[in-house]
Chains A and B, each alone.
Chain A
Amino acid sequence: MKKILIVEDEPFILETYSRELSKAGYLITQAVEGNNGLELATTQKYDLILLDIMLPGTNGIDILRAIKSNPTTKDTPTIMLTNLGQESVVEEAFRIGAQGYILKINVLPTQLVQKVKNYFATGTFESSSYSEFES
């Protein structure tokens, strides 16, 4: 059973995404706060991390940096979640080593599950397209 960590501070979004992913058969761990998410991400082993960018405590980009600079966790595929459609933030995330990026407003729970399934099957994550971003 694949293990997924979701770091997301919005409880409703956390619930809808977690529920659908659970139904699809994945083991879900949740973190609602940056520091907690950072700790889990850097000390536990996951098959996939879904990481929100705007978080209380440590923000998602800093957590991503910590994940990718830690030899134990740097190979954990990490997908950024956000509702800020700013290309500069996307580019930075990819520069640091994120495997994908989704604009939450455009990705319904079942669509997220589909993207995760496809990732585990093919190794490529279908990110939200740049045309959905403002600048």
Chain B
Amino acid sequence: MDKSTNTAKLLILSVSIISVLFAVLLYTKALPFSVQTSSLLMLLTLIITATLNLAYLFLFSKKGETSGINEGMNIFDSIAEAVLVFNENGSFEYANQSALKILRKDIDSVQGKSYTEVLPLFSDTGDSIYIGADKDPINKALQSGQQQQLKNLQLYFKDETVYLNVSVSPYEDPNTHKKRVVVLMQDITEEQALEKMKLDFVAMAAHELRTPMTSIRGYLELLINETEYYLQPVHRKFLEHALLASDRLVNLMSNLLSVSQIERHKVKLNLMPVDINDIIEKTMTSFRPDAKEKNLKFAYIRPPGDVPRVKGDPKYIRQIIDNLVSNAISYTAKGSVTVSLHYQPGGHQVTISVKDTGQGIPVEALPHMFEKFYRVSSLLEQGSKGTGLGLYIAKKLIEMQGGRIWVESVEGKGTVFSFALPTYREGDDKKS
């Protein structure tokens, strides 16, 4: 295209120069023509030059209209990202080199084809992204001028799956008002592979750490059991302390793994209607022996009427309630630990509170309670399983389920940890 334009330009320029030269020669009477003939010839020269220039301008702008999409688009062939343009009918108009490379197609196989054929993209759930006109991003861009960013889309080939981040932008020509859609794609396959490797690394690291830990704990327990008649009580106490310390290490490893997953957004929540009462009953049964051992009053207060189910992941809800109750028991020397369930009839959330009569939390520590690794130092910490991560994890998990968690405390009197989750409404079932 460029070549022919250049040739045309060169031709017209040459002819124009020759015409001007000719006119000059005629005017200076360097050529043997009479005045009349000279004037005629000069006029002719002018007309020819003018016509040629007009023709050139006309050609140039006409080409411009159709080649405008291609002129200057050559710079897009230098970038790694794929750029594609579709017209208002969703038909292919343009693709840069990277686009063709990523799609593994040649220009002839995409000319005039519809975007569904040119770009067979799937979401990370394996569904085509064009199913449903209201979901189809290119359709949305054309109909409602909506720009969208789509992440982790997939392109399937026989030998591999290519992962892409795609942005779909509507474009309207300011002069012609012709609509187009510009699609930009970024190949993130390598990043995805790295993420997968990281996940394996973390899981493997957890496994590798647990293996020797299992043996250490196993031997400690056997020693405690089998040396009753061979070791002094104080020495057996040491073994028991070692075992307790290992409990804390086990929890720490598990919590670190959880934090790692939360922060890399790898936590898969199974949201469903959950009977909170059921979960609390199970926790109460679980921890009753521990509370009894410390001579603590251990009670569960629930409202007289029905409590609706909440929307959440039962596995994590159980984990959180267990954590709060375990903490309450650990940090309370005497008195009581009370779990209560609150529901305001007609309300949209259910609240669970864990109240203890422990030593309370200093005012300056309260705002930091849900921070990573924050621990309030206390005498009662000896032998506790706390890692400083439990509350951070609880807060993240609760918030991921659309709830809130908070704490109130009076030093010397006790503490109340509470969290609220939204009630379940029909049509709420979703994996997230």
Q: B255 to chain A: closest CB distance in Å?
A: 10
Q: Are B218 and A13 in contact (CB under 8 A)?
A: yes
- Could you mark each residue 258-299 of chain B with 1 if its beta carbon is under 8 Å from any beta carbon of chain A, else 0? 100100001110000000000000000000000000000000
At the interface, yes or no: A130 with Cβ under 8 Å from chain B? Answer: yes
Report Cα–Cα, A53/B334, bound state, in Å.
44
Q: From B181-189, B203-211, B384-392, give the one contacting chain A.
A: B203-211
Interface residues on B, range: 20 to 34
At the interface, yes or no: A105 with Cβ under 8 Å from chain B? Answer: yes
Q: Are B258 and A131 in contact (CB under 8 A)?
A: no
> Within A93-135, which residues are at the interface with B (CB < 8 Å)?
104-106, 108-110, 129-135
Q: Are B250 and A85 in contact (CB under 8 A)?
A: no
A17 (CB) vs chain B CBs: closest residue = B218
Report Cα–Cα, A98/B152, bound state, in Å.
35
With a CB–CB cut-off of 8 A, which chain A residues contact B212?
Answer: 12
With a CB–CB cut-off of 8 A, which chain A residues contact B218?
Answer: 12-13, 16-17, 108-109
A104 (CB) vs chain B CBs: closest residue = B214
At the interface, yes or no: B28 with Cβ under 8 Å from chain A? Answer: no
Q: Are A19 and B258 in contact (CB under 8 A)?
A: no
Q: Are B222 and A83 in contact (CB under 8 A)?
A: no
At the interface, yes or no: B315 with Cβ under 8 Å from chain A? Answer: yes
Q: B154 to chain A: closest CB distance in Å?
A: 20
Instruction: Identify which of B212, B214, B217, B318 gathers the most chain A CB atoms within 10 Å of its CB.
Output: B214
A11 (CB) vs chain B CBs: closest residue = B215
Q: Are A105 and B217 in contact (CB under 8 A)?
A: yes
Q: B261 to chain A: closest CB distance in Å?
A: 6
Report Cα–Cα, A1/B250, bound state, in Å.
35
Known interface pairs A10-B215, A105-B217. Does A135 touch B267 (Cβ–Cβ under 8 Å)?
Answer: yes
With a CB–CB cut-off of 8 A, which chain B residues contact A28?
Answer: none
At the interface, yes or no: A69 with Cβ under 8 Å from chain B? Answer: no
B221 (CB) vs chain A CBs: closest residue = A108
With a CB–CB cut-off of 8 A, which chain B residues contact A132?
Answer: 254
With a CB–CB cut-off of 8 A, which chain B residues contact A86?
Answer: 203
B208 (CB) vs chain A CBs: closest residue = A83
- Could you mark each residue 18-30 of chain A with 1 if its beta carbon is under 8 Å from any beta carbon of chain B, else 0? 0110000000000
Instruction: Identify which of B219, B258, B316 gathers the most chain A CB atoms within 10 Å of its CB.
Output: B219
Q: Are B222 and A20 in contact (CB under 8 A)?
A: yes
At the interface, yes or no: A84 with Cβ under 8 Å from chain B? Answer: yes
Q: Are A83 and B266 in contact (CB under 8 A)?
A: no
Report Cα–Cα, A19/B210, bound state, in Å.
20
Report Cα–Cα, A62/B2, bound state, in Å.
64
Report Cα–Cα, A17/B222, bound state, in Å.
10
Q: Are B217 and A108 in contact (CB under 8 A)?
A: yes
A130 touches which of B215, B257, B315 (Cβ 8 Å): B315
Q: Are A105 and B203 in contact (CB under 8 A)?
A: no
With a CB–CB cut-off of 8 A, which chain A residues contact B266?
Answer: 135
At the interface, yes or no: B89 with Cβ under 8 Å from chain A? Answer: no
A112 (CB) vs chain B CBs: closest residue = B218
Q: Are A105 and B214 in contact (CB under 8 A)?
A: yes
> Within A42-95, which residues are at the interface with B (CB < 8 Å)?
54, 83-86
At the interface, yes or no: B319 with Cβ under 8 Å from chain A? Answer: yes
Q: Are B315 and A131 in contact (CB under 8 A)?
A: yes
Instruction: Identify which of A84, A130, A131 gathers the most chain B CB atoms within 10 Å of its CB.
Output: A131
At the interface, yes or no: B125 with Cβ under 8 Å from chain A? Answer: no
At the interface, yes or no: B432 with Cβ under 8 Å from chain A? Answer: no
Q: A35 to chain B: closest CB distance in Å?
A: 21
The contact sample of 19 A-B pairs, CB cut-off 8 A, is A12-B212, A12-B218, A13-B215, A17-B218, A54-B207, A83-B206, A83-B207, A83-B211, A83-B214, A84-B206, A85-B206, A105-B210, A105-B213, A105-B214, A105-B250, A105-B253, A109-B218, A134-B254, A134-B261
Q: A12-B218, A83-B206, A109-B221 are in contact. List 14 more A-B contacts (CB 8 A).
A: A10-B214, A12-B214, A13-B211, A16-B221, A19-B222, A83-B210, A85-B257, A105-B210, A105-B253, A108-B217, A129-B318, A131-B319, A134-B206, A135-B268
